[in-house]
Structure 1
Amino acid sequence: MSDAVVIGGGVMGCLSALNLLEAGARVTLVERSELGREASWAGGGIVSPLYPWRYSQPISALADWSQGFYPGLGRELAELTGIDPEVSSCGLMWLDHDEQADALSWAQREGKPLLSVDADFIYRQVPGLAPGYRSALWQADLANVRNPRLMAALRARLLQFPGFTLLEHTPVQSLLVEQGRACGVRHAKGELRADAVVLAAGAWSGEWAAALGLSLPVEPVKGQMLLYKCEPGWLPSIVLFGGRYAIPRRDGHVLVGSTLEHAGFDKTPTEQALASLRESAQRLLPALENQAPVAQWAGLRPGSPDGVPFIGELSSLPGLWLNVGHYRNGLVLAPASCRLLADLMGGRAPVIDPQPYAPAGRLESVRVR
């Protein structure tokens, strides 16, 4: 495996770099600000799409592979770095959902352990829920990962490789192209030459590509979150109702999210979102009415037209590889997406059929200036 430059220090960039390093490549990761501080830090960390039965097979294939991979990844990172990403199989409960028939049919087809449960089960599993829930869907094996710790562990693991270089606070200014092929990048401090360039810049990928004359339909979609502090174990499982969720952490923190806003690159938390998320939190868990959130923040998802990421080499510009456009499912899809990318770059048999994610035929009006 030859040298590679990875643009973007989120979970996609970091896991892409890790896979390439493990395959023997030398990798330089270039991040415009600080590694792991954008959407990969801001998200909830549920290791599942919110409503998995709604998604197409390409997304399900990535999610299935990643869900099986995460527990081992968490153990390995904890052992090698001393930072535990806290991959916790706490289960997920969908409350009073009007798509139960569709969900159960999907689960039967896919062999998923999704159950329909009654009120007695609901309140035994999550005693702190608001009264009145009569039925729910329950999947006991679904996990959440404490994504800020995951990103810290990935950073520590990458820095253990002698063939890895990290450049933070280093915006990429342009792509180096010679004889119709990407051969590196130019930044404020100089040039980096490589056999391959990987674009994994999250919500900034579309803007970055546009500056190069490439048309890539990835745009920022803002999401805001609240954080509460409760006693460890107070919320045993993830609960979801009406598109809003509460996620437990091992130390008692509870995340509540999230909004879905088209506001460009503005990450400013708003009073409107605070009120809306607090209302959702209290509707799910009435005890939260008596305490204020300890934090509020926003992140920018990499929105794409159908949520199916672009993974593969640009046929119009060999040497430039994409791993972008995961929208709301970046954390859950990352392990599979990054393994697939590394397989394709290394000429190995891919772990998943790469065709649904290939940029060829999916990107309109791609051109290079």
Structure 2
Amino acid sequence: MSREARGRRRSGSLYRNGAACTTQIRGEIRGKLHAETIVVGGGVIGCAIAYELASRGKEVILIERARIASETSSAAAGMLAADSETFHTTVMSMLAYESRKRLHQQKEQLELLSGIEIGLQQSGFITPFRNEAEMKKYSDSRRSTVLPTEQIWWDHSKLQREAPWISKETFGALYRASESELLPVNLARAYAGAAQTMGAKVIEGVQNVSLIADSSGIQGVETSIGRLTCKHVVVAAGLQGGEILKQVGLNLPTLPVKGEIAAIQFAKHDADYRPDKTVYADNVYIVPKANGEVWIGATSLPGRSDREVTVEGIQKLLASAAGWVPGIQQAQFIRAWAGVRPSTPDGLPYLGACKCVPGLYTAFGHYRNGILLSAITGSLMADLIAGHSSEELGIDELRPERLSRKEIMQ
């Protein structure tokens, strides 16, 4: 760590060797319950916003009801799939590309300031097909993709040379070299740790958050640790975001979508069977991680908000994965977990200023792209708080009250 960075590090550092230091942070912040901006929600989105604001020299407090990255961010696979993901709006596609680029640019500083490696790897993604008809069906389904993607076609021979671990029955695959992935919890914690190094306050275990607003706008939040006053509040609380906004008369609905993930590991003598690129298939994704594990996901269960791992779900994932990478059948099963993603009725996140409550902003509803869109979301929210408009930033389609104006909600 540089001398400048060491000088900025506070005694109540959020993470020391990966362990949270919540008690010290609380003790440090009591008696100074004011900041220019309060960010509600300690997932990757909230942490990225706190990091961006702190990097611009702004005073910020981040509050999280449990632990940093303990909710949706902990269930993500960490794919930066700007090319592989299907986006149906230009704004989302452009934000995905820009955010992936920013994450690569931020890597060095995040790891330097936080002391946490985010496990960023760029080995490319492959989307495999069993036959020509399957490939054509996929191509037809992608015609609505608004921006061209960077990809090349690998026929059967090329695929077997470049990915000898894939099933011999595979017809061919699309390869996207710019795609990358990382360790999602590490990313969120790195954002939080780096933000604190630059002066932000991060407090975990903050319950019962209530917005305080009057006719002139937002005044702060009432919480289990007392009242925190501010000029701006950013609600980045995922599935809880909608409930918090109801306190000020805003209806921003979110739909829970449960997903399950399994982690496996290959023995050293089976290293030749371990994929070295992410497999992004229509029925499963297989992601080799920097920690030596391979993550397999994900089921998609709309309307489910429990975090229980089911035998049926994991069996389905492992069977689908082994169909593409047969060596998975010899790998060691490590663990499985589940999480819930926040979706919105139109598939777009609530990102922007709430016009009916001055000083109140929202940044949630990213569904399956929270990790990918974290960097650009942090930058955009900092720009909005600095006075830029959604129209100026090109994100008016994502404004929080858009559904009410379209009379989608009753």
Alignment TM-score, normalising by the size of structure 1? 0.91
Count of aligned residue pairs for this structure pair: 363
The answer to whether structure 1 residue 201 and structure 2 residue 237 are counterparts is yes
The answer to whether structure 1 residue 124 and structure 2 residue 161 are counterparts is yes
Q: Secondary structure at the match of 2:78?
A: coil
The whole-number CA distance in structure 2 between the counterparts of 1:16 and 1:215 is 23
How far 1:122 sits from its partner (Å)? 1.4
The answer to whether structure 1 residue 88 and structure 2 residue 121 are counterparts is yes
Q: Secondary structure at the match of 1:265?
A: coil
The whole-number CA distance in structure 2 between the counterparts of 1:32 and 1:311 is 21
How far 1:257 sits from its partner (Å)? 0.2
Decide which of 25, 31, 48 is 2:58's aligned counterpart. Answer: 25
How far 1:344 sits from its partner (Å)? 1.1
The answer to whether structure 1 residue 156 and structure 2 residue 187 are counterparts is no
1:353 counterpart residue number:
394
The whole-number CA distance in structure 2 between the counterparts of 1:349 and 1:173 is 27
Query: AA paired with 1:157?
Result: A
The answer to whether structure 1 residue 239 and structure 2 residue 279 are counterparts is yes
2:26 counterpart residue number:
none
Contact 1:204 1:220 in 2 (8 A): no
Q: Secondary structure at the match of 1:205?
A: helix
Contact 1:227 1:256 in 2 (8 A): yes
The whole-number CA distance in structure 2 between the counterparts of 1:322 and 1:105 is 31
Query: AA paired with 2:164?
Result: P
1:318 counterpart residue number:
358
Contact 2:83 2:176 in 1 (8 A): no
How far 1:324 sits from its partner (Å)? 1.1
How far 1:72 sits from its partner (Å)? 1.4
* Percent identity (aligned): 27
Query: AA paired with 2:41?
Result: G
Contact 1:248 1:255 in 2 (8 A): yes
* Cα distance change on mapping 1:50 and 1:210 into 2, 3 Å: farther
The whole-number CA distance in structure 1 between the counterparts of 2:369 and 2:164 is 29
2:403 counterpart residue number:
362
2:132 counterpart residue number:
none
Larger Rg: 2
1:38 counterpart residue number:
71
Counterparts of residues 129-148 of structure 1 (less than 5 Å) = 129-148=166-185
Contact 1:30 1:171 in 2 (8 A): no
* Cα distance change on mapping 1:103 and 1:143 into 2, 3 Å: farther
The whole-number CA distance in structure 2 between the counterparts of 1:248 and 1:195 is 43
The whole-number CA distance in structure 2 between the counterparts of 1:83 and 1:262 is 33
1:305-335 superposed Cα distances (whole Å, 9 cap, x missing partner): 2321111111111111011111111111111
How far 1:264 sits from its partner (Å)? 3.9
2:18 counterpart residue number:
none
How far 1:152 sits from its partner (Å)? 2.5
Contact 2:160 2:166 in 1 (8 A): yes
Structure 1: 5+ residue stretches without partners: none
The whole-number CA distance in structure 1 between the counterparts of 2:332 and 2:246 is 42
How far 1:219 sits from its partner (Å)? 2.5
The answer to whether structure 1 residue 178 and structure 2 residue 214 are counterparts is yes
Query: AA paired with 2:237?
Result: A
How far 1:75 sits from its partner (Å)? 1.9
1:259 counterpart residue number:
299
The answer to whether structure 1 residue 216 and structure 2 residue 249 are counterparts is no
Contact 1:174 1:186 in 2 (8 A): yes
The whole-number CA distance in structure 1 between the counterparts of 2:348 and 2:142 is 23
How far 1:297 sits from its partner (Å)? 0.3
How far 1:243 sits from its partner (Å)? 3.1
Q: Secondary structure at the match of 1:159?
A: helix
Q: Secondary structure at the match of 1:95?
A: strand
The whole-number CA distance in structure 1 between the counterparts of 2:389 and 2:235 is 22
1:15 counterpart residue number:
48
The answer to whether structure 1 residue 344 and structure 2 residue 377 are counterparts is no
Of stretches 74-83 and 305-314 in structure 1, the one that deviates more from structure 2 is: 74-83
The whole-number CA distance in structure 1 between the counterparts of 2:55 and 2:404 is 30
Query: AA paired with 2:404?
Result: L
The whole-number CA distance in structure 2 between the counterparts of 1:73 and 1:200 is 21
How far 1:105 sits from its partner (Å)? 6.8
The whole-number CA distance in structure 1 between the counterparts of 2:351 and 2:405 is 15
Query: AA paired with 1:67?
Result: R
Contact 1:311 1:324 in 2 (8 A): yes
> RMSD of the TM alignment (CA)?
2.4
The whole-number CA distance in structure 1 between the counterparts of 2:295 and 2:393 is 32
Q: Secondary structure at the match of 1:293?
A: strand
Counterparts of residues 274-293 of structure 1 (less than 5 Å) = 274-293=314-333
